[in-house]
A and B are shown apart, each in its own frame.
Chain A
Amino acid sequence: MISLEGVTKAYAVNSGLHLVLNDVTLDFPPRVNIGVVGDNGAGKSTLLRIIAGVEAPDHGRVTRRGRVSWPIGFSGGFNGSLSGEENCRFVARIYGESADEIVGFAQDFAELGEYFEMPVKTYSSGMRARLAFGLSMAIDFDVYLVDEVTAVGDARFQKKCRAAFEARRGRSSVIIVSHGLKTIRDYCDACAVLQHGRVVLCSSVDEAERIYQL
């Protein structure tokens, strides 16, 4: 269960302040997969980072009950000069998990072959996403925060991701940020629309589509 209370966040731009989130109060219901839609630059990733606790809001409060993942995406979080395995080991340690188990699972899931032992900077963005995804799936989170990552990779890998989430339904939920409604439709039960600093929670993707198209 994650709730936002009066969360406000602004970034400095040349012409002053750009208000990304304007006094957002919202409860994310537990065990419901939620997709967050919004135009490019609307602040979807910022919202996700604030939910994760990577960034602090300027005003307001975020309450997290349960274990919430870092924002899983294709960039950030990995050290380019370390191998995939070493990166997994590091993340396992900071989450207090057994490094060997996590590494084994991530290696299996990401299907990187020999590249798993190569520096991450040699990876393509698809490979990075696979590593990030496999690694996050290795750790038992109550809520997975996903930033577009599922749109990456071939059809087979996407199917695998969906199956992994399906297997966790009931135990964990996911909050996905995307500007494509298709991804959201595939994964989510409910939808949140982020527009002009406000977030509206809709009970179905269709309802969200109507608002979003306006």
Chain B
Amino acid sequence: MQPASGVWGQLEVLNALILREMKTRFGKHQLGYLWCVIEPSLWIGTFVFVFQMGHRTAPNGMDTVSFIATGLVPYMLFRESATRSLNAIGSNRGLLFYPQIQPLDLVFARTVLEFFTLVLVFGVIVSVSSIFTDNWPHVADWLEFGLGFCAAAALGTALGLLLLGLSVFLPVIERLYSPLLRPMFWFSGIFFTANGLPAPVRDVMLYNPLLHVIEFVRTGWFLEYRSQYASPSYVLTWILALGFLGLVTERVARRRLEVK
């Protein structure tokens, strides 16, 4: 009889890892976990401020704050999921000491925490902005909006998992990852929409699955915007392909990930 076994046991492990991660990440600050929410909120607030100072407005009559938030938050969710998955083992190697904790648990715990944190961040930004403008948003389609967030997290985790497996054999990946992913910030539709791009540019841009994801989030959130180009099957193909390759490499790399 092994109490911590099966699905329930694995959920207990995930729960313990998430609570632990919350404590280790910002445990030293007095506000604790709240910092995880405050920090990105301030960062996005700055962006909105700069965007408005430049007298830029969002296309299609979308609210500027929501426009930036629906772009930046999914982008951050993708990037953070990928980065945290890639680094999941390095900082937690000691945990693999407990037989019931596997590398995948460390990756999933971080993704789940990242997901809820950034959903909170999004809520905080939209609420604060709505209080100031007294203009509460009407969400067009909660399901599409929610699935967009899930897709951002899944895409990031799948990529992070693959990179984690590969970095066991090619440590240089940990250094190259950040500069190689940086252009995503400019090409994923944080500051533009696919509908608004000229056709030749758009055809190239649409190879980027994160652009599709952000288009979903915006179509789900805004009554004013409906993406004509976002393709669910394209995003799903990326997630499944990266996820499959990630699981395979993790399997191959697992032996090397063991504690010494």
A185 to chain B, nearest CB (A): 28
Please report the C-alpha to C-alpha distance between residue A78 and residue B24 in the assembled complex, in whole angstroms.
12
List residues of chain B with CB within 8 A of the CB of A91: 98
The number of chain B residues with a CB under 8 A from chain A is 27
List residues of chain A with CB within 8 A of the CB of B2: 67
Q: Is the interface of A mostly helix, strand, loop or mixed?
A: loop
Could you tell me if B16 and A90 are in contact, using CB atoms closer than 8 angstroms?
Answer: yes
- B202 CB-CB contact with A under 8 Å: no
Q: Is the interface of B mostly helix, strand, loop or mixed?
A: helix
A94 to chain B, nearest CB (A): 5
List residues of chain B with CB within 8 A of the CB of A55: 258-259
- B205 CB-CB contact with A under 8 Å: no
- A86 CB-CB contact with B under 8 Å: yes
List residues of chain A with CB within 8 A of the CB of B15: 93
Please report the C-alpha to C-alpha distance between residue A195 and residue B94 in the assembled complex, in whole angstroms.
28
- B9 CB-CB contact with A under 8 Å: yes
Count how many pairs of residues, one from A and one from B, have CB atoms less than 8 Å apart in the complex: 68
Mask of A70-111 contacts with B, CB within 8 angstroms, 1/0: 110000111101100010001101111000000000000000
List residues of chain A with CB within 8 A of the CB of B254: 56
Mask of A5-29 contacts with B, CB within 8 angstroms, 1/0: 0000000000000000000000000
Could you tell me if A93 and B97 are in contact, using CB atoms closer than 8 angstroms?
Answer: no
Could you tell me if A81 and B27 are in contact, using CB atoms closer than 8 angstroms?
Answer: yes
A111 to chain B, nearest CB (A): 24
List residues of chain B with CB within 8 A of the CB of A67: 1-3
List residues of chain B with CB within 8 A of the CB of A96: 3-4, 9, 12
Q: A67-B3, A70-B98, A76-B94 are in contact. Are A56 and B16 (CB under 8 A)?
A: no
A residues 36-54 near B (Cβ < 8 Å) are 49, 52-54
B residues 23-46 near A (Cβ < 8 Å) are 23-24, 27
Could you tell me if A94 and B24 are in contact, using CB atoms closer than 8 angstroms?
Answer: no
Which of A66, A76, A81 is B97 in contact with, Cβ under 8 Å?
Answer: A76
- B175 CB-CB contact with A under 8 Å: no
Top 6 A-B residue pairs of the complex, sorted by shortest distance between their CB atoms: A93-B16, A53-B99, A77-B97, A76-B97, A96-B3, A96-B4
Give 19 A-B contacts (CB < 8 Å), ordered by A residue. Answer: A52-B99, A53-B99, A54-B96, A54-B97, A56-B254, A66-B1, A68-B99, A70-B97, A76-B259, A77-B97, A79-B24, A81-B24, A82-B23, A94-B13, A94-B100, A95-B3, A96-B4, A96-B9, A96-B12
